[in-house]
Amino acid sequence: MARLLVYQAIWGMENLPGVDMEADMPGVLARIFAAGFDGVGVSLMRADRAEAVARGVHDHGKSFEAIGFVFTAADVARYVDRAQALGAHHLNVQIMARPDKVDDAVALLTEFEAEAAKASIPVNYETHRGRLTNDALFTCRILDRMPNLRLTGDLSHYPLVHEMPLPVPDADMARMKKVLKHCWAFHGRVPGSHQIQVSIKAPQHHGWVDQMSAWWREGFADWLTRAGPGGELTFMPELGPPNYAITGLDGRELSDRWEEALMLKDMARALWTQVAEPVAA
């Protein structure tokens, strides 16, 4: 039976009160798993941290998403090898190269896909501002040319990049729906039209909480039509430290990231139940 795995971002644990990832990674992982997460996401940029996380995850009988930042096909090959060696569930790639033309982007991604095809684990490309997938317009043009491309949907970047108002205009909504049809994993964060990460507890942001929830629900449902019976979809709350997190004049964060990560975990599981139970029945 297909299932949802909810991860916590290791990056999202940075600067949290009582968290020391340098001295006590086992304690950090124990806290994450005691809170009910199924795994974590960790960057491969720091080899020592990635190795420590991989060991701890496997000791707990959990799984993890490996994250790589790539410019070339050789980078993809290197991160595929590393993710496989560490026993990752899948590799999530942020593409740092920013070609101006769709033809050039497609050519680059074709090289990446040749390396991904050799992998024994799935390789997904993250939707992220400041990357090749910077905006929904450019990304959708790539998807028209590469309909089998696997995305990790960090949908929060597109309302910000496009300054989407609420309700979301029809043209933007159509692009988001196209992106959702190519998502094989999700990163979870609620943006505003002008901020990348807002508090989901604040009443003024509930409109965006509702819109993101609707997109996640739609993405989960669409994934179920594509996935095999034993497929595993991952959803990772990814609430980053400052400057992702908004701070006051004293430099302190205005919201509790850990509390809201737990809220996003529960939200994702509730949305999954809504779409998965009718399919199972």
Which domain CATH number covers 53?
Answer: 3.20.20.150
What residues make up the domain containing 87? Answer: 3-275
Determine, yes or no, domain membership for 18: yes
β-bridge mates for residue 152, sequence order: 126, 185
Determine, yes or no, domain membership for 230: yes
Determine, yes or no, domain membership for 174: yes
Judge contact between 180 and 153, C-beta under 8 A: yes
Q: Which CA distances in Å does 18 have to 25, 38, 46, 237?
A: 12, 22, 22, 19
Determine, yes or no, domain membership for 19: yes
The per-residue pLDDT for 280 is 65
Cα separation of 202 and 55, whole Å? 37
The per-residue pLDDT for 178 is 98
The per-residue pLDDT for 279 is 67
Determine, yes or no, domain membership for 280: no
The per-residue pLDDT for 217 is 98
The per-residue pLDDT for 6 is 98
The per-residue pLDDT for 281 is 62
Judge contact between 245 and 253, C-beta under 8 A: yes
- Number of structural domains found in the chain: 1
Judge contact between 40 and 62, C-beta under 8 A: yes
The per-residue pLDDT for 271 is 98
Determine, yes or no, domain membership for 252: yes
Of 218, 209, 235, the C-alpha closest to 178 is: 218
Determine, yes or no, domain membership for 190: yes
Q: Which residues of the chain have pLDDT under 70?
A: 279-281
Residue carrying the six token digits 């991989």: 54
